[in-house]
Amino acid sequence: MQSPTTIKEVQRLTGRLAALSRFLPAAATRSYHFFKTIKRSEKFTWTTDCEKAFSEFKQILASPPILQKPEQETENEQHPVYFVSRVLQDAELRYPTIKKLAFGLVVTARCGAGILLKDDEGVQAERSIKFLFQATNNQAEYEALLAGLRLAKEVGISFLTVHCDSLLVVQQEEEDWRNIFINYMRNGEIPEGETPRSFRYKAAQYTLLEAELYKRGISIPLLKCLGPAEAETSLNELHGGICENHTGSRSLVTRTLRAGYYWPTMKKDCNNKVQCCDACQRCAPLIHNPTELLHTSNISWPFHKWGMDILGPFPISTGQVKFLLVAIDYFTKWVEAQPFAKITAEKVQNFIWKSIICRFSLPREIMSDNGRQFTNRKIASYLTDIHIKHHFSSVEHPQTNGLAEAANKVILQALKKKLTDAKGDELSSYQK
């Protein structure tokens, strides 16, 4: 291969080297001079450094090092698996030698991993994975282990021996509570320290479907059993995910069961999750009023009486909205809410029609405060025409419409918990 004579040929060369980088040691360092040639805006020049690096690459490719597949070492001799190269920049150049070595190990671990399944007859199945995220050494081993288990499941392997140099990974895999039930259903093994009769009674509550353990539920036919890592992921999503609002521990347990998941310590884990949640503790309501007896509400059927109130103003959001019109049913505690940039009598009328009447039929009563949007003549005439009674709460006595005020408090607390990381904590100064 001749030396490049134009920038176009240098670009082709760097592209080929990038494709062969895992087979070329120190590819990034040797390619540095090629990229300097491409970046120059002046006339093309092929320097002596470029020619030297080009000759080294040709010599390496003419006699490439022996690469070996990732497998358990049987000899004292070591062979490279593949090469990872990166040019140090800025502060990385000032690292001490030991830190450069550690940085090189981190970069290598983030690139990917290889999995090799081998049976006693010599049949092998291989798979390589690439990490699209920054991973530590332990995280890379976890991902490789999980990918190997998925590969074993795909090829129908029922018994697997895992070779791993990390005691932490192996022990965590062995401590999965599901293993004792899976081993009993497959091999009839009863764990040590368990009475056979009592353990069989426990195992009767579980079933095995396509290598997955399920628990027979009451309201839900089957609940998928989760291990420690899967349970932690589900709690993070159910409690603080994109569609959740940081509810209490009992509500979190209920939502987990409704989602179809189960593990033995879910009540304790949900309680710990709420207690350790920074947003829940920081935005928890401070109750200063003394306790009192609950007041009865004479409501005969669902969607018979609604309470309405306005929440805001909030910081301006998309569409210039900054108010929230909230309605709550006194019987089912069902909440309807819609954001507005400005709340007028026409918008209140449209909200009543679309969010209440069209969805839940005509109510008998609507309770609201004495805001101008609710006392408007258009609203009074509209509700009279469709035979809906409109009641107003007493001035300076919001307890008359207490259910709507309570719904506002729940919505406000949920917004605060979701926006704890927002700059300036804009909701902290708002009080309903």
Question: DSSP characters for 341-410?
Answer: SS--HHHHHHHIIIIIIHHH---SEEEE-S-HHHH-HHHHHHHHHTT-EEEEPPTT-GGGGHHHHHHHHH
Question: How does pLDDT run across 344-357, given as a tens digit for each residue?
Answer: 999 999 999 999 99
Average pLDDT in the 162-184 region? 71
Q: What is the predicted pLDDT for the residue at 281?
A: 78
Q: Are 207 and 223 in contact (CB under 8 A)?
A: no
Average pLDDT in the 194-222 region? 87
The overall average pLDDT reported for the chain is 79
Q: Are 240 and 246 in contact (CB under 8 A)?
A: yes
User: For residue 174, what pLDDT band results from cuts at 50, 70 and 90?
Assistant: low
* Residue bearing the bigger pLDDT, 173 or 333: 333
Average pLDDT in the 94-108 region? 71
Residue 426 has pLDDT above 50, yes or no: no
Class (C level, CATH) for 305-418: alpha beta
35-39, 213-217, 229-233: range with lowest mean pLDDT? 35-39
If you count DSSP H runs as helices and E runs as strands, how many of each does the chain have, helices first?
17, 11
User: What's the first-to-final CA gap in the chain, in angstroms?
Assistant: 77
* Residue bearing the bigger pLDDT, 357 or 60: 357
Q: Where in the chain is the domain with CATH 3.30.420.10?
A: 305-418
The residues with which 340 forms a beta bridge, in sequence order, are 323
* Residue bearing the bigger pLDDT, 16 or 178: 178
CATH fit for domain 178-282, picks 1.10.340.70, 3.40.718.10, 1.20.1440.230, 1.10.10.10: 1.10.340.70
Q: What is the predicted pLDDT for the residue at 431?
A: 44
- CA-based radius of gyration for the chain: 33
* Residue bearing the bigger pLDDT, 172 or 289: 289
Residue 256, CB-side half-sphere exposure with 13 Å CA sphere: 32
Average pLDDT in the 413-427 region? 62
Question: How does pLDDT run across 36-56, given as a tens digit for each residue?
Answer: 777 765 677 788 888 888 888
Q: Are 8 and 52 in contact (CB under 8 A)?
A: no
For residue 405, give Cα distances in angstroms to 57, 304, 319, 328: 74, 18, 26, 10
* Residue bearing the bigger pLDDT, 404 or 342: 342
The answer to whether the bond into 313 is cis (omega within 30° of 0) is yes
Which pTM value belongs to this model?
0.48
52-56, 137-141, 193-197, 231-235: range with lowest mean pLDDT? 137-141
* Residue bearing the bigger pLDDT, 326 or 13: 326
Give the contacts of 70 (CB within 8 A, at least 6 positions apart).
Answer: 81, 113, 114, 116
User: For residue 422, what pLDDT band results from cuts at 50, 70 and 90?
Assistant: low
Q: What is the predicted pLDDT for the residue at 340?
A: 93
State the pairing for strand pair 305-311/323-329. antiparallel
Average pLDDT in the 207-216 region? 88
* Residue bearing the bigger pLDDT, 109 or 361: 361
Q: Where in the chain is the domain with CATH 1.10.340.70?
A: 178-282
